[in-house]
Structure 1
């Protein structure tokens, strides 16, 4: 039976040693911010889907390891004397413990640290079976950022480098920039992520991890569900069970599939919002639109698992195939920060700008 390691007494460190230690902590903060930025913006660097998946996995792996290290730094349960802890930067460990935010139980009772250790940091039997956890990278980063801001505000200035505060500030700026981009709010008092209606991203799940044992809706499951929902609505439209003026069965099927997905997430957006999301897919062939819409929902819900390069090409292709009137509507959707706007090629953006100019709308 493995023995549980007890927390060992802390060693008082000189200010110079603490300043060097703060550089190592700052590196983890910077890594957390940079990997988060790449993951949520869907940036990949290779043409091969296999390589894209490898990059996505590496990004998530790196993010989670940095999150684990920072969580242990802020809320240690079992530690060695060689571990750098936030409490080391104070005259008494109790000084930091008494002032740090209470935080979510997943942080304070080491649930997150243990989960990452079992599923990412070490080769364990937990990784060989069972339900995969659902990592909400946004919620994890915000939880850590809030506590790190408290640390920066409280730690004696002589014990950290100026760059340490800058690293934390950069992390929070990145998070707030993403919140603004996706029309999200964060309740700092309750430390919970609140998704606003009009540009809600499903992947911003307020849960830190799904440890309930319920199946996790992964990328392939999302694709399969979207295609089946499209097929079901198309059959109904072709049989006359669904109808709308001037709408083809294919268009009704696209609308029904996306609207149903929104509703399954507890949202019921206005019709215009759904059509704005569908704009680029209306310029594709029926089969391409069906498959690309499924991939788009993966991009919205699990961006690190999306085939971003292929999706970007299809969305750009669809936009350039639209007539001027449809492009004008699509351009207005981009101005309202529709999610697919991030994936447009330069040519597709130029086509939208030209449509606005043709229609007499100020492109700025």
Structure 2
């Protein structure tokens, strides 16, 4: 099955299915000498782990990571880093009735069209469970970036029509700290409470909600990215669109740029003690596919969870008849809160890859 690897110099390959024995990742291209432990990776996995609050799936997975290779005495050796997480709480029987009945909003039919066979247990490879490997690899990338003063963090900006009001002047560390104080990962505590109420109302109605997450990277040096086909924003868009449930990606002003004049969109350039700097950041930290040194700002639009308890129309493939299904099992009523660490990981992987590519391109 092609399409399981990502990156050029810092390259990852994820593997495993939702209800298989386990899930994991192989990270290749990480430089030697980087301090790395299972505890570091575990910290990131704990942020995406299921069953942490009443607004997430109640599947109880500890997601304990095992680093099988690529480290010695607490540092990376420069060889492939292989990481494994066992599946402990998969309940496949909940999906038996759906073997021949593709779920609306899921990839059941498209996987069948592509491969001629599919794992119906929890969506198999198309499940969000696959993102365990991405987050584990992202933990390695974040360590690499942190050593160079780069921080990547995200939060929920909007959920169920409720939008956060972010105070001006708050730095990224403060935004992340505020986001981690509530189950919806929103830095605006008032908006967060409204989001929780909206989630509860949707769940009582047997429905789900979508939202928007914002991911920001600060400390990124100018010069990352390639000017044509491997633009930094192009790779970020590909990375973020590669996460299940993401339906749109914005960089900087994003869609709003189409409604602006050039005089408003262009970021004025000012002199600074460390060289020229930008007064505003409508470009989202990227011009011509190359980082400017300003914060990189990405937003993702996340669709509502497709697994809902309301009756839905589909087809019984074994009989070719129209039927109604009601999806059982344990599912997130909203995706954005748990997608935040996944999106952070994908942004970190892109930045780590381009950072190493820049180093390789200079004498």
Where on the TM-score scale, by shorter chain, does this alignment land: which range? under 0.3
Tell me which of the two structures has the higher relative contact order, counting C-alpha pairs closer than 8 angstroms and 6 or more residues apart. Answer: 2
The answer to which structure has the higher strand fraction is: 2
TM-score, normalising length: structure 2: 0.25
TM-score, normalising length: structure 1: 0.25
The answer to which structure has the higher helix fraction is: 1
